[in-house]
């Protein structure tokens, strides 16, 4: 677990100490800090939106914070609000373009949660009736065998 001292700002590059440690461990350049213009489908002051290069469904989209931080929890309130406004805009575009039946929206924070790119981004994954045998529980199935629950009316 990172300590508060590990999150002190590194004024030289604007990244938190924990973000720097993670990027050094990964030892490769951040793919989101050098996106080519043709990949970008939308952008604003705080976010960039692209289609995932390895989509799990048609239209799989990533909404990425412009500022390089590794965790959703390191964003400012303005950045976090802008990120989720951009998620809503992406959903509207995907509704018109792909007409999905639902969505999974998710953020992986930390290696234990499956984060592999240390730059905060939100997955907007269109879902289609019949794309999996049983979608019930959705993201609850991130940990195999632990997602099932029974609640009346759910």
Active site residues: 121
The residues facing 43 across adjacent strands are: 48
How many helices (H) and strands (E) are present in the chain, helices listed first?
A: 2, 7
Of 112, 130, 109, nearest to 120 (Cα)? 109
Q: Where are the beta strands (DSSP E) in 1-46?
A: 9-10, 15-16, 40-43
Of 48, 18, 19, 20, nearest to 32 (Cα)? 48
- Is-contact 5 59, C-beta < 8 A? no
Which residues, 6 or more positions from 39, have their beta carbon under 8 angstroms from its beta carbon? 50, 51
């Amino acid at each position: 677990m990172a300590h508060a001292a590990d999150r002190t700002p590194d004024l030289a590059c604007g990244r938190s100490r924990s973000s720097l440690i993670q990027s050094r461990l990964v030892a490769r350049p951040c793919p989101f800090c050098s996106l080519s213009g043709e990949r970008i489908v939308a952008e604003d002051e705080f976010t960039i939106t692209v289609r995932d290069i390895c989509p799990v469904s048609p239209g799989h989209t990533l909404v990425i914070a412009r500022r390089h931080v590794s965790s959703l929890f390191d964003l400012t309130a303005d950045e976090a609000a802008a990120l989720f406004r951009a998620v809503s805009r992406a959903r509207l575009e995907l509704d018109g373009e792909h007409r999905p039946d639902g969505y999974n929206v998710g953020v992986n924070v930390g290696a234990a949660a499956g984060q592999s790119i240390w730059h905060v981004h939100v997955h907007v994954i269109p879902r289609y009736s019949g794309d999996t045998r049983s979608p019930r529980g959705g993201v609850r199935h991130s940990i195999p065998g632990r997602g099932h629950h029974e609640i009346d009316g759910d």
